[in-house]
Amino acid sequence: MSQRPKAVRMGTSELEAPPATLTKKQFQQVKNLTRDDGHFNLVRNFNLADVITLGNGVCGSLSIFSSLRYVITQDPYYLRMAMWCIPLGFTFDVFDGRVARWRDTNSILGQELDSLADAISFGVAPAVLGFVLGMQSFLDTVVLVCFICCGIARLARYNATIAILPHDKSGKVEYFEGTPIPTSLALVAVLAYLTHLGKVGDQLPGGLIEVIPGYSFHAMVAMFGISGTLMVSKSLKIPKL
């Protein structure tokens, strides 16, 4: 009686040559991440740029928790912290790429970390800030959720297409398709200015617009809708500085 052939394990550690979708350097990075089962294998494979990227994620998370703390205490200190943490996260976002190129440590892990941190700091955190400052109707929430989803989709598209986008001599992508998600800093700046003027909550400019009885939205939430739409645009190409 013939025996069933044994299944061939195709785990990363068993492969001798990289798949067609990975360069040799990327393949080695993946092997390093999967070569053992040690609890701290992931941390051991972090480089300086990855740690800086995590700083961006920390800032975004602190912004969200500060916004929630403001809801509980109504202490303006927490609201200011929620706002300032977002541009601070942008500072980390700028430097992680430069450090990676300086040390020649660009990696698949770093690319994914960058996108996840950006989704928190420039997607979720600004939307939560908008909600805390008065955009709290059902339709407001729908727009804010759509804004976050557009940011996530834009980051996913970038990761999926980065290999075929035009690059300059230094290896940087020449342009973004759609506005980069950190452009949500402009929304935070507007919210900060309105807070300074005291035009938040029921005083938001444009007021509340009723679509049908029981369903209304604040005019100011439209800026989140426009920002999200621009992020997922295919035809809009923004040069990368």
Q: Residue 25 falls within a domain, yes or no?
A: no
Q: Residue 225 falls within a domain, yes or no?
A: yes
Question: pTM to 2 decimals?
Answer: 0.80
Q: For 37-48, what is each residue's pLDDT tens digit? A: 655 555 666 678
Q: CB within 8 A of 88, min separation 6: which ones?
A: 59
The enclosing domain of 117 has a CATH number of 1.20.120.1760
Q: Residue 61 falls within a domain, yes or no?
A: yes
| Half-sphere exposure of residue 40: CA atoms within 13 angstroms, side-chain side | 2
Determine the structural domain holding residue 100 and report its residue range: 41-239
Q: For 133-167, what is each residue's pLDDT tens digit? A: 999 999 999 999 999 999 999 999 888 877 666 55
Would you give the DSSP letter of residue 207? -
Amino acid, res. 4:
R
Q: How far is CA 124 from the centre of its chain?
A: 8
Q: What is the pLDDT of residue 173?
A: 64
d(CA 196, CA 184): 19
Q: Residue 15 falls within a domain, yes or no?
A: no
Q: Residue 24 falls within a domain, yes or no?
A: no
At 133, list the tokens.
């400052």
Q: In Å, what is the CA distance from 29 to each residue of 18, 45, 46, 97, 109?
A: 11, 8, 11, 17, 8
Report the number of distinct structural domains present in the chain: 1
**Would you say 85 and 66 are in contact if contact means Cβ atoms under 8 Å apart?**
yes
Q: Residue 153 falls within a domain, yes or no?
A: yes
Q: Residue 1 falls within a domain, yes or no?
A: no
Q: Residue 28 falls within a domain, yes or no?
A: no
